[in-house]
Amino acid sequence: MPASYAYLGPEGTFTEVALRTLPEAATRELIPYVSVQSALDAVRTGEAEAAFVPIENSVEGGITTTLDELVAGEPLTIYREVLLSITFALLVRPGTALADIKTVTAHPAAQPQVRNWLRAHLPDALWESAASNADGARLVQEGRYDAAFAGEFAAARYGLVPLETGIHDAENAQTRFVLVGRPARPAAPTGADKTSVVLWQRDDHPGALRDLIDEFATRGINLMLLQSRPTGEGIGNYCFCVDAEGHISDRRMAEALMGLKRVCLQVRFLGSYPRADIAPGGARTLQPGTSDQEFLAASDWVARCQDGRF
């Protein structure tokens, strides 16, 4: 049996389209799962080699379902990311007119991306969420809803027709997807990488979040995502999901993570992996004093001082 990748299904999701852009997907069995949780659990139990799930969109930010699954449970590691431009079609059963639509459905993350269009064209339609956009299309096929917002490519798969296409409230909307597997050594740095971690504060005090951010800032590391998530231990108790520019093998990143490990109650490393938004080696210019060479030179200077060779 070929190695398998789990993904948020059913067939016809944006997740599947993004997954098929990975060259290695052609050599894997691609298995749809009904939820992000079940796809990631398939990796944890060994049913799948890896899982491919959405983690962030440019309209609403982090996908909380995915973030919460990565925060809790048996640790997993992010190995790849993919960016996909998103535009929706309104899929209906053949013969349905706009005036016939009383109920619509899609994944919850789709709603902020079509809210204005829905208000302008179907102000009285009742919205109900589906497990995925493709699952919404399946529910329309079964007659449970009148219309679904999904990719136009899903129409043929579910015997539907696109009544409207090119629907989006925000120009250039994108969703970021990640390939997640069991923990292993990160791939070699490319020069255009991202590191993801989850941070738990040791205690709540004025400037506590600033203290965490300073571990990155003092080493010239740019943060690309910072999102708080409740820990489930009461109101006001949060952890922080962070994406930062750089690779764990970079001296500046390694030192930042060591600093965070000292000051945080807990740090969960989610992986260092190539960025999808720029080509390898195309990362922005480092701030003075933050290159590996300068960290090594500073370390050598301290060693010489300790030996009386200053």
Amino acid in position 279: A
Domains present along the chain, CATH in parentheses: 1-85+174-184 (3.40.190.10), 88-167 (3.40.190.10), 185-309 (3.30.70.260)
Please tell me the distance from the alpha carbon of residue 256 to that of residue 91, in angstroms, as a whole number.
48
Q: What is the DSSP letter of 34?
A: S
Mean pLDDT confidence for 79-92: 96
List residues bridging with 269 in a β-sheet: 197
pLDDT at 32: 96
pLDDT band at 280; cut points 50, 70, 90: confident
Residue 37 pLDDT exceeds 80: yes
Please tell me the distance from the alpha carbon of residue 19 to that of residue 21, in angstroms, as a whole number.
5
Tokens in use for 224?
Answer: 């690309």
DSSP β-ladder status, 61-62 and 50-57: antiparallel
Please tell me the distance from the alpha carbon of residue 152 to that of residue 47, in angstroms, as a whole number.
31
Please tell me the distance from the alpha carbon of residue 36 to that of residue 139, in angstroms, as a whole number.
19
Tokens in use for 93?
Answer: 């059963």
List phi, psi (to 5°) of 230: -65, 145
- Between 62 and 50, whose confidence is greater? 50
Tokens in use for 159?
Answer: 């015997």
pLDDT digits (tens, 9 = 90+) for 191-220: 999 999 999 998 888 888 999 999 999 999
List residues bridging with 149 in a β-sheet: 90
pLDDT digits (tens, 9 = 90+) for 119-169: 999 999 999 999 899 999 999 999 999 999 999 999 999 999 999 999 988
Mean pLDDT confidence for 95-116: 94
Proportion of the chain above pLDDT 70, given as a percent? 99
Angle between helices 64-71 and 36-44 (to 10 degrees): 30
pTM, full prediction: 0.87
Residue 50 pLDDT exceeds 50: yes
HSE at residue 66, side-chain half, CA atoms within 13 A, is: 28
Q: What is the DSSP letter of 110?
A: G
pLDDT band at 1; cut points 50, 70, 90: very low
Residue 2 pLDDT exceeds 70: no
